[in-house]
C-alpha cells in the first residue's frame, strides 16, 4: 500500500513540474506576440494598450515560475522571458529620452537593471543545467545585449546627476551613484560577459565615469562609494585639478585631517607647479597649529622632487619667515621669483622680510647709550634693509596697481625710514 502511495506522490510532483514548465512556454508565446506588436510600424493607441496589457499579463505569469522549485527544464527560458519583458518595457522609455520627451527615469532605470539581472540569472541557470551549444539559445544574444546596455547605465547616471543639480534633490544624486557605480562594477557583476569582461574593464572611459561616480557620491554624502572609486577617478587626467579638489574636500568633510594632509602632500609633490592652492592650504594648516617642523618637511619634500620649484622655494621661504629667520628666507623668495617673474606674493614677502630684518636691528638699538656718531653708524644697516625692501614692494605695486592697501602702507614705512617725506606722503594719500 505504501508503495502505491509513493508512486502517486511522484506522479503529482511530475505533473506539477510539467505544469510550471508549460506556464513558461505559454508565457514565451505571449512574449513573442508582444515582440510582434512592438515591431509594428505606426502603432495606434489601441495597439499600445494591447501591448501593455499583454506585458502585464505575461509578467504576472512568469514571476511565480522563477522561484517555484517545480520549474525544471524551462527555468532558463523563464529568466530569458523576464529579461525580454523588461527590455520591451524600457525600450519605449528610452525612445522618449532620445526624443527629449518627459520620461519616468526611475521606471527606465528599474527596467534596465531588471533586464540585466535577469540575463545574468538566465546565464547562471544555463551553467547549472549544463546547457551548451544548440541547447543554449539564450547566452549569445543576452551577452550581446549586456554589452550593448552598458552605455545606457552610464547615461542614466548622467541624467540623474543633471536632475540632482537642477533640483538639489539628494534622491537624484543617490540614483546617480547607483547608476554610475553599476557601470563601474559591470565587468565583475555580470559573469555572462565571459572573456568580454576584460575589454569592458579597460574601457578608456573608466576614469571619467569613476570621477562622476565620486562627484555624485560627494553630493549624496556616500563616503563608502566615494572612497571605493576615488583611486580610479584620480587617473582622469583631463580634470586632474577638480578630482584632487574633490578628493581633499571629501576628506575634510569626513574630518579625516591626517588623511587630508597625507593626500594633499602627495598631490603637491607629484605636481608642484599645478597645485599651489593645495600647498597654501596645507601650509596654512601647519602655521595655524604652530607646526613649523612639518611645514618645513613639506617644503623640503617639494624641493627634493624639484629643486627649482616655484612652490617649493616659496613654501620654504614662508616657513623660515614664520620662524622669524628673515635673512635666511629671502633667497628662497628670490628663487620663487626666478621661476615666476610675476609672483606678486613672493615679492611682497621678500619685502616684508627685509623690512622685518631692519625693524629687528632697530629694536636691538633701543636702550643703548650711544653718541650721535655711533647711532648714525648703527642705524645704517636699518636703512639699508628698508632700502632693499623698496624694489620688492614697488614690483608688487606694478603687478597689483589696483590693490594699494597691499603695498602702499609698506612703502610708506620704507620712505619714513629712508626720510623721503614726499614719497611717504604720496603713499599715505593712497591709503586715505
* 3-state SS, one letter per residue, for 230-250: HHHHCCCHHHHHHHHHHHHHH
* pLDDT for residue 17: 47
* pLDDT for residue 5: 41
73 vs 385: CA distance, rounded Å:
95
Chain segment 104-163, per-residue pLDDT in tens: 999 999 999 999 999 999 999 999 999 988 899 999 999 999 999 999 999 999 999 999
Asked if residue 273 belongs to a domain, the reply is no
Percent of the chain with pLDDT over 90: 66
Chain segment 201-242, per-residue pLDDT in tens: 999 999 999 999 999 999 999 999 999 999 999 999 888 888
Q: Which of 72-81, 207-216, 243-252, 372-381 tops mean pLDDT?
A: 207-216
* Residue with cell string 552605455: 151
Asked if residue 390 belongs to a domain, the reply is yes
Chain segment 317-371, per-residue pLDDT in tens: 999 999 999 999 999 999 999 999 999 999 999 999 999 999 999 999 888 888 8
64 vs 60: CA distance, rounded Å:
8
Q: Is 179 helix (H, G, I), strand (E, B) or coil?
A: helix
73 vs 24: CA distance, rounded Å:
10
Boundaries of domain holding 405 = 343-432
Q: Report whether pLDDT(195) > 60.
A: yes
**How distant, in Å, are the alpha carbons of 42, 204, 272, 291 from that of 116?**
29, 22, 45, 54
Asked if residue 121 belongs to a domain, the reply is yes
What is the radius of gyration, based on Cα positions, of the chain?
36
138 DSSP assignment: S
Q: Report whether pLDDT(406) > 90.
A: yes
Instruction: Among 203, 230, 259, give the residue marking a domain's end.
Output: 203
Mean pLDDT, all residues of the chain: 89
Asked if residue 233 belongs to a domain, the reply is no
**Rounded mean pLDDT of 248-254?**
91
Task: Indicate the length of the chain as a whole number.
Answer: 432
Instruction: Among 182, 203, 224, give the residue marking a domain's end.
Output: 203
Of 357, 353, 352, 409, nearest in space to 383 by CA: 357
Asked if residue 379 belongs to a domain, the reply is yes
**Rounded mean pLDDT of 165-193?**
96
Q: Report whether pLDDT(50) > 90.
A: no
Asked if residue 414 belongs to a domain, the reply is yes
Asked if residue 241 belongs to a domain, the reply is no
Instruction: Among 203, 237, 268, give the residue marking a domain's end.
Output: 203
Helix (H) and strand (E) counts for the chain?
19, 0
Q: What is the pTM of this model?
A: 0.75
* pLDDT for residue 18: 53
The total domain count for the chain is: 2
170 touches 100 (CB < 8 A): no
Asked if residue 328 belongs to a domain, the reply is no
Amino acid at each position: 500500500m505504501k508503495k502505491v502511495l509513493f508512486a502517486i506522490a511522484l506522479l503529482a510532483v511530475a505533473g506539477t513540474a510539467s505544469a510550471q514548465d508549460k506556464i513558461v512556454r505559454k508565457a514565451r508565446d505571449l512574449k513573442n506576440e508582444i515582440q510582434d506588436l512592438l515591431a509594428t510600424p505606426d502603432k495606434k493607441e489601441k495597439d499600445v494598450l494591447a501591448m501593455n496589457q499583454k506585458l502585464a499579463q505575461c509578467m504576472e505569469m512568469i514571476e511565480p515560475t522563477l522561484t517555484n522549485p517545480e520549474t525544471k527544464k524551462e527555468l532558463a527560458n523563464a529568466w530569458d522571458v523576464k529579461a525580454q519583458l523588461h527590455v520591451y518595457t524600457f525600450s519605449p522609455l528610452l525612445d522618449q529620452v532620445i526624443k527629449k520627451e518627459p520620461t519616468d527615469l526611475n521606471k527606465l532605470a528599474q527596467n534596465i537593471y531588471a533586464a540585466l539581472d535577469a540575463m545574468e540569472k538566465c546565464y547562471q541557470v544555463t551553467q547549472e543545467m549544463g546547457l551548451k551549444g544548440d541547447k543554449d539559445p539564450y547566452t549569445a544574444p543576452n551577452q550581446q545585449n549586456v554589452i550593448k546596455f552598458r552605455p545606457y547605465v552610464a547615461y542614466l547616471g548622467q541624467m540623474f546627476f543633471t536632475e540632482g543639480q537642477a533640483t538639489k534633490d539628494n534622491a537624484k544624486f543617490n540614483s546617480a551613484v547607483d547608476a554610475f557605480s553599476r557601470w563601474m562594477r559591470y565587468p565583475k557583476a555580470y559573469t555572462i560577459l565571459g572573456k568580454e569582461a576584460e575589454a569592458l574593464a579597460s574601457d578608456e572611459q573608466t576614469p571619467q565615469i569613476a570621477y562622476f561616480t565620486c562627484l555624485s557620491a560627494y553630493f549624496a554624502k556616500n563616503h563608502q562609494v566615494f572612497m571605493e572609486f576615488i583611486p580610479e577617478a584620480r587617473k582622469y587626467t583631463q580634470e586632474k585639478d577638480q578630482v584632487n579638489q574633490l578628493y581633499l574636500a571629501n576628506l575634510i568633510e569626513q574630518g579625516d585631517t591626517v588623511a587630508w594632509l597625507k593626500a594633499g602632500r602627495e598631490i603637491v609633490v607629484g605636481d608642484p607647479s599645478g597645485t599651489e592652492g593645495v600647498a597654501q592650504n596645507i601650509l596654512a594648516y601647519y602655521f595655524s597649529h604652530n607646526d613649523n617642523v612639518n611645514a618645513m618637511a613639506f617644503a623640503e619634500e617639494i624641493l627634493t622632487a624639484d629643486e627649482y620649484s616655484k612652490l617649493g622655494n616659496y613654501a620654504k621661504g614662508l616657513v623660515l619667515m614664520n620662524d622669524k629667520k628673515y635673512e635666511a628666507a629671502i633667497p628662497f623668495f628670490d628663487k620663487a621669483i626666478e621661476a615666476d617673474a610675476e609672483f606678486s606674493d613672493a615679492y611682497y614677502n621678500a619685502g616684508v622680510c627685509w623690512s622685518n630684518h631692519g625693524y629687528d636691528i632697530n629694536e636691538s638699538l633701543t636702550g643703548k647709550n650711544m653718541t650721535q656718531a655711533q647711532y648714525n653708524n648703527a642705524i645704517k644697516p636699518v636703512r639699508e634693509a628698508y632700502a632693499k625692501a623698496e624694489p620688492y614692494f614697488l614690483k608688487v605695486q606694478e603687478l597689483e596697481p589696483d590693490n594699494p592697501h597691499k603695498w602702499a602702507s609698506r612703502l610708506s614705512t620704507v620712505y619714513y625710514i629712508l626720510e623721503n617725506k614726499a614719497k611717504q606722503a604720496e603713499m599715505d594719500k593712497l591709503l586715505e
